[in-house]
Amino acid sequence: MEYPTSALTFCKANESDFESLVRCIAKVLIDGNSMHAHTYTMDKWLWKYFRMPHAEPRIYICKQGQEILGYYHCAVYRGVLDGELVKIAMVQDVGMSEVARGKGVFSKLAVYATNDLLHSDIQFSYTFPNEKSIHTFIKYNGYDSIDVLMSFVIPIQFDLILASKFKFFGLEKRMGQLLNRLFSLFIPKVDHRIRVTQSEVLTEQMIDVFLDFNKRFANTLIRDENYLKWRYVDKPQGKYYFFCAYEGTELNAVAIISIEDLLGVKAAVIMDFAIREAQEAAFVQMIVQIRNNDSVFFNESIGLLYSSTIRTNEFVFKKAGFIKIPQRWNPRPLNLLGRSLKSKVKTSMDPLKWNITLSDWDVL
């Protein structure tokens, strides 16, 4: 199917577009063999862009007549930039229908969206583009690289990981058990002064740790009660575990974990975390005790622990026993791009000033 580009309309989506827009997104995800294609529903889309308190999403579309050919979503969050309260946009769902690909339509839609953002009261925009769209963001929309997020892993059950790759008369189980014992030599010892608990309820005490952790970064989304409840309690089809590390009655570290399928095994994925000042040992112990008691905490055996975060958090992850995955082995590197939308904002692109976790990435 061919069409004249002059017949295209670039505009903001209105309510009458919503149903056809969600159908378009689902079709693009199916065509791209996305693992989330069949779970992308209207309910999830409404949660993502409209159900967070004070939500003010900017959703841009390209139409030919009444047919939606492409889309460009920006969720808008409360954040801190150079220590000042601001609005931060995150470019999330972007895509083009098959008929419009390769014709320069996406770059035109991206320019339209960026120009609208530049005339808004939003101070900063960031995104995690894939390899197909990263060129457009940098060349046509003024984005620059902040960092490539680091990915970390701790094997928990080598036998499960090996069994997912091959089976040979039980040899994979014996090899895995040997590797489990060897790897345990490099994991910190349990400190019984620190007690680790798991809950499916978000508490005020946990939120307070996140608010305290926010203060350590010049640039970050504000992970307050509104954000955390929306992201991890109200999400459709989402189930998250809240882990806490106490010393006495003091809560010093929190981690939010989901169970995902990675490398053919169940993986405990750390979506977000927070640590009190000078209490990194609490986070380390939380990871150690989760690894040692995975079947107790999750009611099933877990193959590995995984997370991805910006370099500011590298030290504490390595201290907890995580192994950094080399970028060349990472099938989906998270390239973090950003741009200032206001020339008066002295935005630092220094990754050491940011707190970015998988909570920022909109896919999981």
pLDDT value at 6 more than 60: no
The per-residue pLDDT of the chain, averaged, comes to 90
Same domain, 140 and 154: no
If one compares 303 and 60, the residue with the highest pLDDT of the two is 60
Residues 166-198: tens digit of each pLDDT = 665 666 667 667 776 777 877 889 999 999 999
pLDDT at position 184: 80
Helices 204-214 and 225-232, axial angle in degrees (round to 10): 110
Distance CA(41)–CA(47), nearest Å, equals: 10
Backbone angles phi, psi at 272, to 5 degrees: -155, 165
352 to each of 125, 273, 284, 313, 314, how far by Cα in Å?
18, 17, 21, 9, 10
Backbone angles phi, psi at 286, to 5 degrees: -60, -45
pLDDT at position 2: 41
Distance CA(315)–CA(326), nearest Å, equals: 16
pLDDT value at 308 more than 60: yes
pLDDT at position 3: 45
Answer with the one of 147, 180, 215 that is the final residue of a domain: 147
pLDDT at position 182: 79
What is the length of the chain?
364
Same domain, 32 and 130: yes
Helices 42-50 and 18-31, axial angle in degrees (round to 10): 110
Same domain, 133 and 166: no
Mean pLDDT, rounded, for 86-100: 93
Give domain status of residue 87, yes or no: yes
Answer with the one of 147, 164, 185 that is the final residue of a domain: 147
Mean pLDDT, rounded, for 63-77: 95
pLDDT at position 167: 63
Give domain status of residue 340, yes or no: no
The domain spanning residue 162 has which CATH number?
A: 3.40.630
Distance CA(180)–CA(137), nearest Å, equals: 43
Give domain status of residue 339, yes or no: no
Give domain status of residue 299, yes or no: yes
Give domain status of residue 283, yes or no: yes
Distance CA(148)–CA(354), nearest Å, equals: 12
Distance CA(73)–CA(231), nearest Å, equals: 17
* Number of Cβ atoms within 10 Å of the Cβ of 111: 15
Same domain, 163 and 264: yes
Same domain, 123 and 48: yes
Q: What is the DSSP letter of 203?
A: -
Distance CA(177)–CA(239), nearest Å, equals: 30
Same domain, 118 and 182: no
pLDDT at position 7: 86
Residue 215: both structure tokens together: 């203060």
Same domain, 85 and 159: no
Helix (H, G, I), strand (E, B) or coil at 285: helix
Residues 6+ apart with CB under 8 A from 125: 74, 88, 89, 90, 91, 114, 117, 143, 338, 339, 341
Give domain status of residue 259, yes or no: yes
Give domain status of residue 343, yes or no: no
Q: DSSP alpha helices (H): ranges in 32-170?
A: 42-50, 105-118, 134-141, 158-163
351, containing H or E segment: none
Residue among 355, 168, 153 nearest 263 (CA):
153
Percent of the chain with pLDDT over 90: 73
Same domain, 51 and 134: yes
Same domain, 106 and 246: no
pLDDT at position 277: 96
Residues 194-247: tens digit of each pLDDT = 999 999 899 999 999 999 999 999 999 999 999 999 999 999 988 999 999 999
Helices 134-141 and 105-118, axial angle in degrees (round to 10): 50
Residues 102-154: tens digit of each pLDDT = 888 999 999 999 999 999 999 999 999 988 889 989 998 999 999 999 999 99
Residues 6+ apart with CB under 8 A from 359: 221, 223, 231, 256, 271, 272
Answer with the one of 127, 147, 167 that is the final residue of a domain: 147
Q: What is the DSSP letter of 354?
A: B
Domain that holds residue 80: 5-147
Give the pTM. Answer: 0.91
Distance CA(363)–CA(358), nearest Å, equals: 9
Same domain, 56 and 179: no
Same domain, 259 and 287: yes
Same domain, 158 and 41: no
Distance CA(80)–CA(5), nearest Å, equals: 40
Give domain status of residue 80, yes or no: yes
The domain spanning residue 80 has which CATH number?
A: 3.40.630.30
Q: How many domains does the chain have?
A: 2
